[in-house]
Amino acid sequence: MSATGEKVTVRTLQKMKEEERPIAMITAYDYPSGKLADQAGADILLVGDSLGMVVLGYDSTIAVTLEDMIHHTKAVVRGAQRSLIVTDLPFLTAHLSREEVLKAAGKLVQEGGAHAVKIEGGEEILSGAKACIQAGIPVMGHLGLTPQSVHQLGGYRVQGRDKETAAKLLRDAQLLEECGAFALVLECVPTELSDEISKSVSIPTIGIGAGGSCDGQVLVYHDILQYGSNLQPSFVKKYAFVGDQILEGIQHYVREVRQRVFPEKKHGFHLSSQQVKDLYGGKPGGTMDGGR
């Protein structure tokens, strides 16, 4: 774990819940984000299917494929050393046969190098989740706002505000624990409900827009860094303004190219005067003086 530099495992996370040490999880989508989030001490890196929206520009997570998830997981794995890497099972996959779920999760782990998979949904996905767990693939649950069901939910809305949906969420959390899930993401649910769920299951809950009583928190990399994200959920806190810095940096570069301020002499490669003599008989052309 972060304090000791040891690798984070599902057992580390269980222990963190027992000792009431909050779990810090963040999404990562590629080599640099994986490397930086790992170095920063994040316990879990989530290769979220939000990558479809954040780095591929789709307007939902539905178009994201298993191949996309494998591709991005590989890059994150190459960047990270210590964090536990969890990858989202993409749209629909969890609702196929047990064999298909197992095949997809198996690819994320075997080809992608993920340590665990995350599956959206409750009771509906239990049999697929169980197949993975029995095969040795740790499963993280995801309840509340499940973005792969955006069309059914009618938008990215807070879930569990009424008695029936709150009861279903609590029950789904307990079913996921019973089935052997190692942790549970709670997305966009009232704090009072996530508090109750967190107390009633022994596995860690990790909240996003679910208040402070969860056992951990997760946010999207590009959201907390204000790095070109198209969404502005109200539960996000901004910790840096990387997009502004990137914009200013590139504007400066473009300006300097246009004004011939860049490149300077030190940004080029040069021949020695002897080499110039040998090659050009000591009379280099006007363009061979290295410029400014």
Ligand X SMILES: CC(C)C(=O)C(=O)O
Residue 27, binding choice from ligand MHF, Mg ion, ligand X, none, Cβ under 5 to 8 Å by partner class: ligand X
Catalytic annotation on 187?
yes
* Binding range to Mg ion, per CB under 5 A, among 85-93, 103-111, 170-178, 283-291: 85-93
Residue among 49 and 196 whose Cβ is closer to ligand X: 49
User: Site for ligand MHF (CB under 6 A): which residue of 195, 223, 225, 227?
Assistant: 223
Burial of 95 (0-12, 13-18, 19+ CB in 10 A): middle
> Can you list the pairs that 133-139 forms with residues at least 24 positions away whose Cβ atoms lie under 8 Å?
133/179, 133/180, 133/181, 135/102, 135/105, 135/106, 137/102, 137/105, 137/106, 137/109, 138/10, 138/182, 139/105, 139/179, 139/180, 139/181, 139/182
- Site mask, ligand X, residues 33-72, x = CB under 6 A? -------------x-xxx----------------------
Among 48, 90, 112, 207, binds Mg ion (CB under 5 A): 48
Per partner kind, with CB cut-offs from 5 to 8 A, the member of Mg ion, ligand MHF, ligand X, none near residue 156 is ligand MHF
Site for ligand X in 150-189 (CB under 6 A): 185, 187
C-alpha to C-alpha distances, 29 to 150, 221, 260, 274, nearest whole angstrom: 22, 9, 36, 50
User: Which is the catalytic residue, given 67, 99, 164, 187?
Assistant: 187
Site string for ligand MHF, 167-196 (x = CB under 6 A): ---------------------x--------
Tokens representing 289?
């003086």
Within positions 215 to 254, which residues make up the interface with ligand X, using CB under 6 A? 218, 220
Binding residues: 49-50, 88, 118, 120
CB of 49 to ligand MHF, least distance (A): 7
Q: Which of the stretches 27-35, 42-50, 75-83, 190-198 binds Mg ion when contact is defined by CB under 5 A? A: 42-50
204 backbone dihedrals φ, ψ, rounded to 5°:
-65, 140
Q: Exposed, middle or buried by CB within 10 Å (0-12, 13-18, 19+), for 213?
A: middle
Residue nearer to ligand MHF on the CB measure, 131 or 210: 210
Query: Which residues of this chain interact with ligand MHF, rule CB under 6 A?
Result: 50, 53-54, 61, 145, 147, 156-158, 188, 220, 222-223, 229, 231, 233-235
Residues with catalytic function: 187
Query: Which residues of this chain interact with ligand X, rule CB under 6 A?
Result: 27, 46, 48-50, 88, 185, 187, 208, 218, 220
